[in-house]
Amino acid sequence: MTEEQEVFLAHIQKQGLKRTAQRDLILDVFLRTEEHLSSEDLYRLVHKEDSSVGQTTVYRTLKLLAEAGLAREVRFGDGLTHYEHHYKHQHHDHMICSNCGKIIEFYSAELEAIQDAMAARHKFEVEQHLLRIIGICADCRRAKRNAEKSRERIRSASARSTR
């Protein structure tokens, strides 16, 4: 049994719940997936392996994973709650492309120091913080530039042909 499985088992037992094959599968699929998953995303992945697992079971198990400290809820401004690995994972923040939805994880010691300094200045005890930066990723900016160049070439060619 992995350490994560032991943590999960201890948590559900403390909650008065039983270990089930469905919960084990959901945990396994979640741990194998290094993406930010909504409950619907995880349901689709689990359903491929066992079609008897219901969406409600996945949702409730994700909540248990978060309570156990194995998963962390994150929101990216798309109206969905996503989950990412949390157990023994270093803190990080997120940049989200508002065009394609790409998520870039990053860590900045400088930003952490500024946050700590601001909290100290205001005598504020930080329990957790979430930083998300919304913008346009390099791939989307490149695609936009290329599309603009293509349109300009077409306009230039069209202008030359009408002369």
Pair (62, 117) in one structural domain: no
Look at residue 89 and give its three-state secondary structure: coil
pLDDT at site 155 = 84
Q: Which of 43, 60, 89 is the last residue of a domain?
A: 89
Pair (3, 69) in one structural domain: yes
Q: Which of 89, 104, 120 is the last residue of a domain?
A: 89
Pair (155, 130) in one structural domain: yes
The whole domain housing 163 covers: 91-163
pLDDT at site 71 = 95
Among 125, 44, 104, 33, which residue's Cα sits nearest to residue 70? Answer: 33
- Spans of the chain below 70 pLDDT: 162-163
pLDDT at site 75 = 84
pLDDT at site 46 = 97
Q: 45: Cβ–Cβ under 8 A, 6 or more apart, which residues?
A: 29, 33, 37
pLDDT at site 39 = 94
Instruction: CATH number of the domain at 38, please.
Output: 1.10.10.10
Pair (83, 97) in one structural domain: no
Kindly report the pTM of this predicted structure.
Answer: 0.73
Pair (33, 83) in one structural domain: yes
Indicate the burial class of 37 (C-beta count within 10 angstroms; 0-12, 13-18, 19 or more): buried
The phi and psi torsions of 58 (rounded to 5 degrees) equal -65, -45
* Cβ atoms of 119 and 81 closer than 8 Å: no
Pair (38, 99) in one structural domain: no
Instruction: CATH number of the domain at 108, please.
Output: 3.30.1490.190
> CA 33, CA 83: separation in Å to the nearest integer?
11
Indicate the burial class of 67 (C-beta count within 10 angstroms; 0-12, 13-18, 19 or more): middle
Pair (75, 25) in one structural domain: yes
Pair (85, 112) in one structural domain: no
Q: Which of 29, 63, 89 is the last residue of a domain?
A: 89
pLDDT at site 163 = 64
Give the chain's domain count.
2
